[in-house]
């Protein structure tokens, strides 16, 4: 589980603080520049992973003989104490120390003395921050994957329960053909399944260790990067030191996944907003997922899906921000890359909130089955079934299309659906129509006829839901 930073107290920027890198400088950093270039206000959330990476780095340095066992013990004990101090809210973050890395290193040196200064041997903040962000994102991906699975499970379970619930299917937001509500929900699940697969594919490229690249060229110390990768649970170490410190593809790829997921959730939200309106009235959202109006007492607003729909634009913006950030950078690391964290962090937080809201809300949807069925009945939804019937009787499809079009025009004029017409009325458009036509003009007959893989027949929906649940269940095995 990803650790969250406890509330902390910020210090004011100072102009005289001694910098760990200040040896070649002849004057202190300008007070405004100090605050402007600092990142600790937002990257302090990486504290858990910074400490995790530092302990692994120190362990590796000990194994290769750069540090002693006693020094490793002091470093580990000191870092664990700092972790507890941060989580208890007692750690004093300093803007003058720029970032999470230097704040923790400075606190460690103050706590254990000169040994703390040895921790940074063989690494740079360039490969350190790349490692921290990957560790953090990897943990967050696992949290998001669990929430996405929870959403899918609730969605599929509801779909299975509504395998026989008939509703109109739409193209151009016009009634097209009858489908089942369960079939429609499983269409949403197909989107989410692709999102889950993209997320897991992204995780593979996140789970690569950059530590050991140092500033850009590697290090002269006899480090063992494969050992560090093993200690931190990475699949492998990166191959090229220049790319290792300057690569942010993994963050962009994650935000690309997030943009696609939010696009799908926005489409789902749009349908939920439509369906909860009095004009559709297909579903009821429980009150706990809605809000009211400050002036109109009758209102019940679907704020959760509306807000999720709106947050898609926020995530799209973060993706474009990261793409723009990286598009003109020469190798290797540049200060520009400090700007990668806030878009990434906010994307993670936004996606996490949206998934939690939907995972709680979707299983609680209450379909208004009679309203859905009546909407399908009144929209000439079985017109294609009549055309298929005529084709099976030997009429060419284009001629059948014309016959059905005239039948629908008659129905519009008479305010009656095809299934409400008499046999004689239908026969005025084609004499090959016989009494068995009413078997295909019913809504139940229409959906049942689509009895093939991917079709809307209740039996197919039930089978598809079973397969989808099994696929989600395999993730925990």
CB 35 within 8 A of CB 13: yes
Task: Give the whole-angstrom CA distance, residue 137 versus residue 323.
Answer: 18
Phi, psi of 223 (to 5 degrees): -75, 160
As given in the structure block, the two tokens for residue 65 are 């003989």
Ranges of beta strands (E only) in 157-260 are 166-171, 174-180, 208-209, 236-237
DSSP secondary structure string for all residues of 66-123: SS-HHHHHHHHHHHHHHHHHHHTT--EE-GGG-SHHHHHHHHHHHHHTHHHHHTTTT-
Phi, psi of 260 (to 5 degrees): -65, -45
In 3D space, the residue among 34, 44, 23 whose CA is nearest the CA of residue 345 turns out to be 44
- Catalytic annotation on 172? yes
Task: Give the whole-angstrom CA distance, residue 351 versus residue 393.
Answer: 53
As given in the structure block, the two tokens for residue 250 are 């993994």
User: Please, where are the H alpha helices in 247-338?
Assistant: 249-276, 303-326
Q: Give the DSSP letter of residue 26.
A: S
Task: Give the whole-angstrom CA distance, residue 91 versus residue 19.
Answer: 19
In 3D space, the residue among 462, 407, 384 whose CA is nearest the CA of residue 181 turns out to be 462
Which one from 57, 101, 278, 293 is the annotated catalytic residue?
293
DSSP secondary structure string for all residues of 423-467: HHHHHTT-TT--GGGHHHHSHHHHHHH--STT---HHHHHHHHHH
Residue with tokens 């001694």: 18
Which one from 39, 94, 96, 172 is the annotated catalytic residue?
172
- Catalytic annotation on 312? no
Task: Give the whole-angstrom CA distance, residue 269 versus residue 309.
Answer: 6
- List the catalytic residues: 172, 293
């Amino acid at each position: 589980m990803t650790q969250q930073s406890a509330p902390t107290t910020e210090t004011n920027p100072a102009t005289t603080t001694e910098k760990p890198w200040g040896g070649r400088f002849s004057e202190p950093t300008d007070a405004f520049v100090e605050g402007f270039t600092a990142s600790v206000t937002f990257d302090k959330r990486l504290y858990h992973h910074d400490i995790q990476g530092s302990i692994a780095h120190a362990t590796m340095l000990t194994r290769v003989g750069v540090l002693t066992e006693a020094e490793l013990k002091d470093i580990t004990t000191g870092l664990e104490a700092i972790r507890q101090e941060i989580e208890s809210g007692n750690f004093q973050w300093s803007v003058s120390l720029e970032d999470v890395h230097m704040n923790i290193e400075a606190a460690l040196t103050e706590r254990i003395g000169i040994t703390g200064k040895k921790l940074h041997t063989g690494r740079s903040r360039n490969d350190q921050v790349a490692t921290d962000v990957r560790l953090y994102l990897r943990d967050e991906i696992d949290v998001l994957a669990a929430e996405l699975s929870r959403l899918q499970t609730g969605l599929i379970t509801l779909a299975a329960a509504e395998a026989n619930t008939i509703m109109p299917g739409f193209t151009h937001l016009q009634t097209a053909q009858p489908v089942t509500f369960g079939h429609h929900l499983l269409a949403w699940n197909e989107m989410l399944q692709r999102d889950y697969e993209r997320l897991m594919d992204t995780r593979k490229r996140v789970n690569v260790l950059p530590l050991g690249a140092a500033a850009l060229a590697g290090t002269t110390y006899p480090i063992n990067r494969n050992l560090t990768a093993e200690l931190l649970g990475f699949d492998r170490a990166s191959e090229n030191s220049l790319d290792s410190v300057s690569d942010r593809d993994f963050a962009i790829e994650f935000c690309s996944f997030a943009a696609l997921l939010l696009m799908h959730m926005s489409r789902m939200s749009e349908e939920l907003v439509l369906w909860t309106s009095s004009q559709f009235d297909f579903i009821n959202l429980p009150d706990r997922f809605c809000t009211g109006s400050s002036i109109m007492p009758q209102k019940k607003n679907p704020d959760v899906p509306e807000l999720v729909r709106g947050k898609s634009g926020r995530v799209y913006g973060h993706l474009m921000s990261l793409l723009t950030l990286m598009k003109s950078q020469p190798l290797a690391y540049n200060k520009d890359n400090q700007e990668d964290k806030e878009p990434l962090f906010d994307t993670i937080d936004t996606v996490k909130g949206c998934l939690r809201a939907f995972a709680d809300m979707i299983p609680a949807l209450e379909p208004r089955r009679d309203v859905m069925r009546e909407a399908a009945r009144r929209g000439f939804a079985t017109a294609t079934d009549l055309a298929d019937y005529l084709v099976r009787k030997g009429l060419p499809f284009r001629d059948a299309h014309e016959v059905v079009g005239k039948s629908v025009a008659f129905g519009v004029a008479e305010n009656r659906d095809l299934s409400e017409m008499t046999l004689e009325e239908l026969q005025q458009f084609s004499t090959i129509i016989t009494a068995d036509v009413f078997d295909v003009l019913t809504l139940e007959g229409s959906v049942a006829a689509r009895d093939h893989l991917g079709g809307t027949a209740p039996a197919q929906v039930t089978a598809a839901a079973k397969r989808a649940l099994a696929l989600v269940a395999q993730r925990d095995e």
